[in-house]
Amino acid sequence: MLVGSLMLATTLLFMASTFLAEPHPHQAEAIGGYSAGCLKNGVALPLTGPGYQVIRTKRLRYYGHPELIAYLTTLANQTRMAGMPDLYIADLAMAHGGPFTSGHRSHQTGLDADIWFRMANQPISTWEQDAPKEWALIDEPSYRVLPGRFGPQQLNLLRLAASKPEVARIFINPVLKAEVCKRAPDEPWVAKLRPWVGHFSHFHVRLRCPVGSPDCQPQAPIPPGNGCGAELASWLKDKPQLPKVSMAYHKPRLPARCGG
């Protein structure tokens, strides 16, 4: 009896470990790295919902891992409950992830999303849907925040977006990071705001690798501290610029499971 029980327990343990290690064939998976990967069984974000609108829909970049879709719809509900206008949600990923032919190098695994600081008091018009007017928060020549552009609503939006445990980091312009450091330096979520070039009118949310995606490659952890000291100062010393790269498109080497 004891031997039989041990054999049964061993069999069940093996089955459980196999189940955990091998995702179900219909389970969503983020595969590879954020800039060299793909998305399996992704989900489309509905183009409109409580508290948000998807923009530039002709690009077909509104797919994501279910955790990203849940994150965005929850965030939109929270901002709506806070009395804020609807969010404009831009690029997520393509239906099967992978590299875009223009724009971002990341957004490949269904765990990245761009959210605009401009918010919608009314549904976006049809003529503006595919080329909406951006609402920059920063004057690029002077590298300073435009008066009245970064107010309590924008700060609260970043707080709600960054406070969730599934968020790995949020990329924002260094000037905006400095503004947050002035207003909320002791908040734990501030550390997740990572300075990066551009991002004059939007921020870029990146989620952690989700459970059930064993081939998802996480990014290195963010450094300790709130990121408001010497690290940020190095970004503000000179206006950071993206390195000049060839205009020729070079597809990244993708994991074998992505067909690369």
Residue 153 resides in a domain: yes
Range of the domain at 156: 28-244
Rounded to whole angstroms, the Cα distance separating 48 from 72 reads 12
Contact 51, 26 (CB under 8 A): no
**Euclidean distance between CA atoms 57 and 198, whole angstroms:** 22
- pLDDT recorded at residue 113: 98
**Residue 4 within any structural domain of the chain:** no
The yes-or-no verdict on residue 171 having pLDDT over 60 is yes
- Over residues 88-118, the pLDDT tens digits come to 999 999 999 878 776 567 899 999 999 999 9
User: Can you list the alpha helix ranges (DSSP code H) found in 33-184?
Assistant: 66-81, 152-162, 174-183
**220 pLDDT more than 90:** yes
pTM of the full structure: 0.85
> Could you tell me the CATH number of the domain that includes residue 44?
3.30.1380.10
Q: What is the number of H-type helices and E-type strands within the chain?
A: 5, 13
| 256 within a domain of the structure (yes/no) | no
Q: Give just the sign of the alpha carbon dihedral 75, 199, 111, 116.
A: positive
Q: Would you say residue 9 lies in a domain?
A: no
- Is residue 174 in some structural domain? yes
* Residue at 21 is within a domain: no
Residue 17 inside a domain? The answer is: no
Q: What's the domain count of the chain?
A: 1
Angle CA 251–256–257, to nearest 5: 105
Q: Among all chains, which residue has been given the structure tokens 């503000």?
A: 236
Give pLDDT tens digits for 114-161: 999 999 888 888 878 888 888 899 998 888 999 999 999 999 999 999
Tell me if 14 is assigned to some domain: no
